[in-house]
Amino acid sequence: AQSSVTVFGIVDVAVRHVDGDGTTKTLLSSGGLSTGRIGFRGIEDLGGGLKAGFWLESQVNADDGTQPQARFWHRRATVSLISDSLGEVRLGRDFAPTYSAFADYDAFGDNGVAAFTAMYKPRTVSGTTPQTAVRDDNQVSYILPTTLGGIYGQASVAAGEGTKGSKYYGGRIGYKTGPFDVSAAYGQTELASSDDKYKLFVVGGSYDFGVAKILAAYQEAKYDVGVASIDGLKDKLLTVGATVPVGAFVIRASYDQVKADDDKNAKRLSLGGIYNLSKRTAFYGTYSVIDNDDAGTFVVADSPAVAAGKKSQGVEVGVRHSF
Task: Give residues in contact with its own copies (CB under 8 A).
Answer: 1-2, 4-9, 11-15, 25-28, 38, 40, 42, 44, 46, 50, 52-54, 56, 58, 60-67, 69-79, 81, 91-93, 137-140, 159, 161-162, 277-278, 280-281, 303, 318-321, 323
Confirm if 286 and 253 have CB atoms less than 8 A apart: no
Supply the minimum distance, in Å, between the C-beta of residue 287 and its own copies: 19
Q: Quote the Cα angle for 20-310-114, to 5°.
A: 55
Smallest gap from residue 136 Cβ to its own copies (A): 9
Minimum CB separation from its own copies for residue 152, in Å?
23
Nearer to its own copies, 2 or 149 (CB): 2
- Measured from the CB of residue 299, what is the shortest distance to its own copies in angstroms? 15
Q: Chain-centre distance of CA 171, in angstroms?
A: 16
Best CA proximity match to 263, nearest among 223, 300, 290, 235: 235
End-to-end Cα separation, the chain, in angstroms: 20
Q: What stretch of H or E contains 138?
A: strand 135-143
Q: Which is nearer to its own copies, 55 or 287 (CB)?
A: 55
Indicate the residue among 174 and 318 with the shorter CB distance to its own copies.
318
Nearer to its own copies, 140 or 238 (CB): 140
Q: Give the nearest distance from C-beta 21 to its own copies in angstroms.
A: 18
Which residue in 57, 49, 62 sits closest to 73, CA to CA?
Answer: 57
Instruction: Specify the DSSP element, H or E, that contains 75.
Output: none
- 8-state DSSP, 118: G
* Cβ neighbours, 10 Å, residue 161: 9
- H-only helix segments in the chain: 97-103
Smallest separation, CB 322 to its own copies (Å): 9
> Are 318 and 13 in contact, with CB atoms under 8 Å apart?
yes
* C-alpha count within 13 angstroms, C-beta hemisphere, residue 77: 11
Its sign, for the CA torsion 184, 152, 166, 73, is negative
Identify which of residues 81 and 184 has a Cβ nearer to its own copies in the complex.
Answer: 81
The whole-angstrom separation of Cα 318 and Cα 28 is 9
Residues 119, 102 contacting (CB under 8 angstroms): no
Min CB(202)–its own copies separation in Å: 23
Read off the DSSP letter of residue 212: -
Q: Give least dist CB 103 to its own copies, A.
A: 19
Is 20:304 a contact under the CB 8 Å cutoff? yes
Nearer to its own copies, 52 or 148 (CB): 52
Smaller CB separation from its own copies, 149 or 194: 194
**Between 64 and 149, CB nearer to its own copies:** 64
- Minimum CB–partner distance for residue 46 and its own copies (Å): 5
Select 36 or 204, whichever has its Cβ closest to its own copies: 36
